[in-house]
Structure 1
Amino acid sequence: MLPLPFSRQPAHLTLLALACLSGHSAFAEEPVQLDSLQVTGEQVSEVEAAREELKRVPGATNVVDMAKVEQGRVVGVADVLAYQPGVYAQSPGNEGVKISVRGSGINRGPGSHASGTHIMLDGLPLTGPGGTPYELLEPLWISRAEVLRGANGFDRGSLALGGAIDYITHTGYTAPKLQLRYEAGSRGYQKRSIASGQVLGDFDYYFALTDSETDGYQDHSSGKGKGVAANFGYRLNENLETRFYLRYRETEHETPGRLTKAQLKDDPRQAAAANRSIDAHRDQPGSTWLANKTTWQIDDDATLVAGLAYHHYPMDFAETPYRDSAYRIRVDYSDVSATLNYTRRHTLFGLDSTTSVGLRSTTSLPSSKSRENATLPLTVDGNSYPAGTLMRAYEHLGSDNVLHFSNELELAPDLWLTSGLALIHTRREVEVTWPVNDYKLKESTWDYAPRIGLRYQLNPEVQLYGNISRSVEPPHAWSMIWSSNDYFPAGNGPATGRYRAPISLDNQTATTFEIGGRGDSILGQWELAYYYSQVRHELLSVEVAPAVQREVNASPTIHQGIEAGLISPLWQGGAAGALSLRQAYTFSDFHYRDDDRFGDNRLPGLPRHYYQAELRYDHPSGFYAGLNSQYASKVAVDYANSYYADAYATFGATLGYASPKDDWQAWLDLRNLTNKRYAATVTPGYNDNGADVARSTPGEGFGVYTGVSWSWL
């Protein structure tokens, strides 16, 4: 909650009081009356306040202002995270987005339960032992997104290699009283939204409804979704406030499958034949997130924030062929998360200091169970079974618990030392419960993650930083079943050939060094970071059969890279408008470290070079126009580096009008102007021996989208 605008007493009152206390004769005999001086602080937007707060982090961060993103098509979080250095976000053909920060989760569960980053909603965990489902990440519900890359997410309770991404929902303080938005475009795309937010004394609320539909770019890729988000805040007194959150959303979409490079070049809109034959699809029949966050300002220097969240996210999908048929998997996940964070400003060794203590705990509920049923009649070992036959049942439970301590100490003017230590306890319980329940795996591990960093304000325009940290990331509970190579033998009826016993997977750990800086210069606002990570037991996925992936611990790997961003004011024409250039470049070098089989091969799945840019003209009347581009270098599609998806470059354009009063806007968004055929994401195999295997999901071709938004402020 933002502080209200403040004012100070007239300066002459303060000076007069000091004079009386001093007993100076001149003031005692004849008080001096100074002219009144009223000093009023300007109210800072939440986005600007967030940027200033993240400048205290001795490492790389991003803040995304959704007001800018919404000046064009907003399908999913790939649009939210565009133009952000150090962040790779591409859609694999549906709402699910492959997000990787510093190579995090480079090939883990793309699109469905993406991992490698700790995803949060309003400072509370969304990521759990089962990964991160995507259906609740509706971008029109948020006012901003904060990305704390790598170990810089430490104070958010994140210990993942990629750090933390926090999606901050609108409240009554940031939302208009009423907002209507409509988007439409190529291939049957439509999106509708209605939202309202107000402040009513000590109470505020935000409420939003959205729904969307699309025929999809590929054949057999239609999808739709609908949902609601709300939060209600109440200020009990000037030091205590609480807020309740609700998110509910349903999605369903067809799954077109992946293509070979030859198929992609010939007709990128075709679907994989196997996916069409089994009517492959994935539904989220209704995910719910309920939460509360309460903030107590204990005194001027101490704050306590407590949070509690319940997350229920069932899935119902049939995407994988099995014995010339298909099977349907129904998963019923639910978990509970609790957070507690205490922060206090104080002095330490006579120096200004801030200490924080935090606890994050996410635990799966016993109701988290799964089952597989045949979707067509099935013949196994000479026996026939009807559609709907139960093939296998299992459960995967777990908990992630982090206790973290951190301190920020001002060693000298403009020089701060940040230190921290996290204690981590993870638990995984995985069991196949049908047709037998003799195969259960239960693991519990303790680990730690220290962190130390420095930041130096070289001058008012330039800040430098560096840090060394350790990260710890546990495996998905479900992957400990799906990565097994122990199958039910013949004679087990419909379960024959299904995974039988779970396997043990180690936690992924990494030691990371980072240096960089940010500031303003004659070239514009800039940021630059270099990182180097030595990763052990990296959790990597490999496709072992169509739509079947196995997760394994890799031999030692190296992740290093350069992240650069620059926003340059090219021309300031006053009443004639302004021209600016926004650029983001990410260099990624991820490779094995003397692997017995693959040597120093690159890790597949992500481009080595990734560049985005937008040249934009803004007129004071509200008119704007822009040209944008995206370039990605070639990507290995197997761990043997025997075959590559091609490099590509795409171009787009936007044209729009945003009223200076912020009450309405309209826009035209043109995507992939040259209709470039390219692979947006790849799902790697082990060793394709140079063959052109179906591993690529095509990126969207030329598309035209338009939209309008009206707000009652």
Structure 2
Amino acid sequence: MTEHVHHAAQQRSSRKAPQYPITRTAIAAGAAMLCFASGMAAANGNAVAVAVAAIDPVALAAAEAPAVAAEASGEAQAAVAGTSAAAVVSDGDVVGTMAGAVHIRGKALNGATKAKLRLEEVPGGVSVVSAEQVEKGRVFTSEDVLAFQPGVYAQAAGGTDGIKISIRGSAINRGTNFFRSGTLFLFDGLPVTGPGGTPYELFEPLGLSRTEILRGANAFDQGALMLGGAINYVTRTGHDAAAFEARVEAGSFGYKKVSVSSGQVIGNWDYYVQAIASERDGYQTLSSGESRAFIGNLGYKFGPDVETRFYFRYRKTDNYQPGALTVAQVEQDPRQANPTSVAQDAHRNQPGSRWLANKTLWNIDGDSSLEFGAVIHDYPIDQQLGVNVGSWGFTDLSFSLNYQRRETLFGLRSETKLGALSTSHNNHGWLDTRVRIPSGATAGLPVGTLIRRAEYDGEDHILHAGNDLEIARDLWLTTGVSGVKTKRFTEVVYPVVNEPYARSTTALAPRAGLRYTFPNEVQVFGNVSRSIEPPNSWAFLTTPPAFTTGPATGLSRHGLDLKDQTANTFELGTRGAAYGSNWSLSVYRSYVKNELLSVEVVPATATTAAATAESNATPTIHQGIEAGLESRLWDGGANGTLAARQSFTLNDFYFRGDSRFGRNTLPGIPKRFYQGELSYEHPSGFYGGLSVQAASRIDVDYANSFRTHGYGIVNASFGYEHPTQGWKLFVDLRNLADKHYVSSVSPAYNDAGTDQRRSAPGEGFAVYSGLQYAFK
């Protein structure tokens, strides 16, 4: 079995193990970062190994024995498991499985490092976030998890837990409290996203081992065909959790969060459980909220080749909605709420969403594996906005099947991956609209009267096949094709039954890429791909009261006959490690047709909810730069280390000659977004850092008639982690200058140069602290 190793190890034959410094943070400018990266391909390999080995024990082992690494049996001294395959070290011992640790030269690797090695096989933009790094400070929302990730715009609004997430311009038109679109979200490789999009209430950021981000079509092997790619949140298991861990966070604006967890391995079983409670008064008026969550998984090994794991997530939330403000209101007093939202006492309640899943792995032999997954996801929502109460109910069923095989084809090393992903609404999704305030258009009706019931159905079925082939030494060709079939159905069944709307589409999405790794571990890559995104199942039905074919139906047969959004994307990039630094750089251009854009067509009033409509845009361009750099600036040994990390994203999205808007910029996110941090760590356990976040102006409508102002904020943090006793504490200082700025925009069609309520403020000056204790 020693000759059968994971594909990642095969690809690194006769080369040094990749270098990943333990600590990375940042402060250099974006231009200098790109110049630095461009020169690394010519760097001397031995010098690189020595420089990085000084800060990475894995690289040190490789640098000390290059001849052994080159001549080992099967050319495989570094054997690293993928997500669902065993890892084998040189003595033939199996040391890793679906949830276990892996080793290189006897050195244990955590899940984040293991994932980085595996994702280096993707010829495109990817990144991995270690929970260990995130938990050095406040962990409130996914904004804290996704910080410093190139290409990712993740911003909270007004101190609430609703955030806007956009990757390569996906869901650029969404606000912070919508179902998320344009990106496939997964827990542990299994889908949360369904035909209706992605409800956000289950995304509790504690309890994670790591987060994997695969931008655009680089998420092909996950079954993702959306413009934004995929984000995979990986939960801890008994293999990487403490037997007991407690964490408490508290801070400004009444923020409190408590977590208790436990994980262990007991014979062939392992488990992980976590309970979390949080609440806040909120930065803005009417932004208070609370949540209760439970996370757990249970794994069992039937033998060396078969294992299974059950997952469960539950979370209930109740969040008040402060609503959008004008830019002037944000700059004058960002803590105020939209007067309409105050009059409505607007809030959104998720009475309890559940996600139950199983994943079973069979290592058929040393070269092939089969993995099966199943998910049931139930997510009810009560939304009390305006004159009406909207009660949503969705239950999704998902199934996945993935087969992987390593072999030699025509004398060339090869890995083939075949997969299927199917998700559908079960027994109709539905929306009941009831009277909340007996006034306005519904005057005289008793509170709670049902005035409309709509039903939704949707199915997404994806088959994907891909292959990695080493066509020359260290030059790999990636090819693949996905087939997708989607179904959408919607109708209003009360007060009258209308003619239902139904559609079914099929499409193919091919992909091809190349990657070459130089002897000094510098990699260059490029790919061409196609993405396909169908409309959400609810998008074909207008939001009350803007019924386009009469108040009884609410169905638009003309304006909302939506087409699938498609995009052809070209990407070039590089990544590598040298002289104590890691970098990544991707440049891409997407030609998008029928982009799905949602616009508020009628604003909310004190007695009516806002009306929105989804539509297909004329052709658009999404292009940009995604750059990241992590550097060890100074190593003082017993005196500590100084490190830096930074990310820069250029978002250049615009119409390709629209009849009305010409080449206007697509509104919703800033064109330039930068995050950088300088940090210090001492061997005794003390750490501290200073960070900056800067963004350019954001257009708020498609006419580009009004913009927000750009901003820059400065944060600081420090803490102490005891080297042996399992406890740590931290203090986070956010927005030190109490800058008033817009963090998120819900775009409109044309505001004619006026400052309308489209903006949500970022949080002002705040102090957060936390204490965590764990023992094995």
TM-score by length of 2: 0.85
Partner of 2:153: 88
d(CA) in 1 for partners of 2:111, 2:580 = 26
* Alpha carbons of structure 1 residues 49 and 527: separation in structure 2 relative to 1, 3 Å: same
* Alpha carbons of structure 1 residues 579 and 212: separation in structure 2 relative to 1, 3 Å: same
Task: Give 1:541 shift.
Answer: 1.4
Partner of 1:228: 294
Partner of 1:530: 587
Matches within 5 A, 1:256-271: 256-271=322-337
Kindly provide the CA deviation profile for residues 257-295 of structure 1, in whole angstroms up to 9, marking residues without a partner as x: 111111112211001111011110001000000000000
**Runs of 5+ consecutive residues of structure 1 not aligned to the other structure:** 11-38
d(CA) in 1 for partners of 2:752, 2:745 = 16
The AA in structure 1 aligned to 2:126 is: T
> Is residue 214–residue 224 contact of structure 1 (8 Å, CA) maintained in 2?
yes
Task: Give 1:549 shift.
Answer: 2.4
Kindly provide the CA deviation profile for residues 672-699 of structure 1, in whole angstroms up to 9, marking residues without a partner as x: 0000000110111111111010111010
d(CA) in 2 for partners of 1:111, 1:706 = 27
* Alpha carbons of structure 1 residues 688 and 379: separation in structure 2 relative to 1, 3 Å: closer
Task: Give 1:568 shift.
Answer: 1.4
Partner of 1:672: 735
Kindly provide the CA deviation profile for residues 616-642 of structure 1, in whole angstroms up to 9, marking residues without a partner as x: 000011100100010000000000000
The farther-off stretch of 343-352 and 170-179 is 343-352
Partner of 1:411: 471
Is the aligned partner of 1:653 residue 2:716? yes
Is the aligned partner of 1:8 residue 2:113? no
> Is residue 279–residue 289 contact of structure 2 (8 Å, CA) maintained in 1?
yes
> Is residue 236–residue 272 contact of structure 2 (8 Å, CA) maintained in 1?
yes
| 2:525 aligned counterpart, secondary structure | strand
The AA in structure 2 aligned to 1:482 is: T
d(CA) in 1 for partners of 2:89, 2:412 = 28
> Is residue 568–residue 580 contact of structure 1 (8 Å, CA) maintained in 2?
yes
Is the aligned partner of 1:400 residue 2:460? yes
The farther-off stretch of 590-599 and 41-50 is 41-50
Partner of 1:441: 501
Aligned length: 675
* Alpha carbons of structure 1 residues 56 and 667: separation in structure 2 relative to 1, 3 Å: same
Q: How much identity, in percent, do the aligned residues show?
A: 49
* Alpha carbons of structure 1 residues 460 and 620: separation in structure 2 relative to 1, 3 Å: same
The farther-off stretch of 110-119 and 351-360 is 110-119
d(CA) in 1 for partners of 2:546, 2:689 = 55
Kindly provide the CA deviation profile for residues 462-488 of structure 1, in whole angstroms up to 9, marking residues without a partner as x: 011000000000111111103799727
d(CA) in 1 for partners of 2:521, 2:538 = 48
The AA in structure 2 aligned to 1:216 is: G
d(CA) in 1 for partners of 2:105, 2:120 = 24
Partner of 1:686: 749
Task: Give 1:142 shift.
Answer: 1.0
Matches within 5 A, 1:4-153: 8=91, 41-93=106-158, 94-108=160-174, 110-153=176-219
The AA in structure 2 aligned to 1:198 is: Q
The farther-off stretch of 657-666 and 280-289 is 657-666
Q: For the pair shown, which has the larger CA radius of gyration, 1 or 2?
A: 1
> Is residue 579–residue 616 contact of structure 1 (8 Å, CA) maintained in 2?
yes
d(CA) in 2 for partners of 1:233, 1:117 = 28
* Alpha carbons of structure 1 residues 687 and 134: separation in structure 2 relative to 1, 3 Å: same
| 1:132 aligned counterpart, secondary structure | coil
* Alpha carbons of structure 1 residues 543 and 380: separation in structure 2 relative to 1, 3 Å: closer
Matches within 5 A, 1:94-493: 94-108=160-174, 110-319=176-385, 321=386, 326-378=387-439, 380=441, 384-482=444-542, 487=547
Task: Give 1:460 shift.
Answer: 2.9
| 1:710 aligned counterpart, secondary structure | strand
d(CA) in 1 for partners of 2:433, 2:189 = 35
Task: Give 1:384 shift.
Answer: 1.9
Kindly provide the CA deviation profile for residues 224-264 of structure 1, in whole angstroms up to 9, marking residues without a partner as x: 00010110000001000000000011000100011111111
* Alpha carbons of structure 1 residues 461 and 596: separation in structure 2 relative to 1, 3 Å: same
The AA in structure 2 aligned to 1:253 is: N
Partner of 1:16: none
* Alpha carbons of structure 1 residues 125 and 489: separation in structure 2 relative to 1, 3 Å: closer
The farther-off stretch of 451-460 and 516-525 is 516-525
* Alpha carbons of structure 1 residues 693 and 40: separation in structure 2 relative to 1, 3 Å: closer
Partner of 2:562: 505
d(CA) in 2 for partners of 1:198, 1:367 = 40
d(CA) in 2 for partners of 1:372, 1:418 = 49
Task: Give 1:135 shift.
Answer: 1.0
**Runs of 5+ consecutive residues of structure 2 not aligned to the other structure:** 1-83, 94-103, 605-609
* Alpha carbons of structure 1 residues 237 and 672: separation in structure 2 relative to 1, 3 Å: same
> Is residue 540–residue 556 contact of structure 2 (8 Å, CA) maintained in 1?
no
* Alpha carbons of structure 1 residues 527 and 355: separation in structure 2 relative to 1, 3 Å: same
Partner of 1:28: none
| 1:153 aligned counterpart, secondary structure | helix
> Is residue 683–residue 696 contact of structure 1 (8 Å, CA) maintained in 2?
yes
The farther-off stretch of 620-629 and 660-669 is 660-669
Is the aligned partner of 1:712 residue 2:775? yes
Kindly provide the CA deviation profile for residues 154-198 of structure 1, in whole angstroms up to 9, marking residues without a partner as x: 000000001010000110001100000000000100000000000
d(CA) in 2 for partners of 1:561, 1:468 = 15
Task: Give 1:380 shift.
Answer: 4.0
d(CA) in 2 for partners of 1:343, 1:219 = 52
CA RMSD of aligned residues (A): 1.8
d(CA) in 1 for partners of 2:459, 2:288 = 35
More strand by share: 1
Matching residue within 760, 765, 773 for 1:702: 765
* Alpha carbons of structure 1 residues 396 and 456: separation in structure 2 relative to 1, 3 Å: same
The farther-off stretch of 430-439 and 398-407 is 430-439
> Is residue 491–residue 555 contact of structure 2 (8 Å, CA) maintained in 1?
no
> Is residue 164–residue 174 contact of structure 2 (8 Å, CA) maintained in 1?
no
Matching residue within 592, 596, 606 for 1:539: 596
Task: Give 1:438 shift.
Answer: 1.8
The AA in structure 2 aligned to 1:416 is: W
d(CA) in 2 for partners of 1:562, 1:537 = 23
* Alpha carbons of structure 1 residues 197 and 471: separation in structure 2 relative to 1, 3 Å: same
Partner of 2:658: 595
> Is residue 228–residue 249 contact of structure 1 (8 Å, CA) maintained in 2?
yes
d(CA) in 2 for partners of 1:698, 1:55 = 37
d(CA) in 2 for partners of 1:701, 1:488 = 41
Task: Give 1:662 shift.
Answer: 6.7
Task: Give 1:347 shift.
Answer: 1.5
The AA in structure 2 aligned to 1:409 is: L
Task: Give 1:91 shift.
Answer: 1.2
d(CA) in 2 for partners of 1:424, 1:460 = 40
The AA in structure 2 aligned to 1:638 is: D
Kindly provide the CA deviation profile for residues 525-574 of structure 1, in whole angstroms up to 9, marking residues without a partner as x: 11111000000000011122234322110000000000100011111101
d(CA) in 2 for partners of 1:421, 1:189 = 47
TM-score by length of 1: 0.92
> Is residue 607–residue 633 contact of structure 1 (8 Å, CA) maintained in 2?
yes
Give structure 1 regions of 4+ aligned residues with deviation exceeding 4 angstroms. 1-7, 483-486, 498-502
> Is residue 5–residue 43 contact of structure 1 (8 Å, CA) maintained in 2?
no
> Is residue 431–residue 501 contact of structure 1 (8 Å, CA) maintained in 2?
no
> Is residue 347–residue 383 contact of structure 2 (8 Å, CA) maintained in 1?
yes
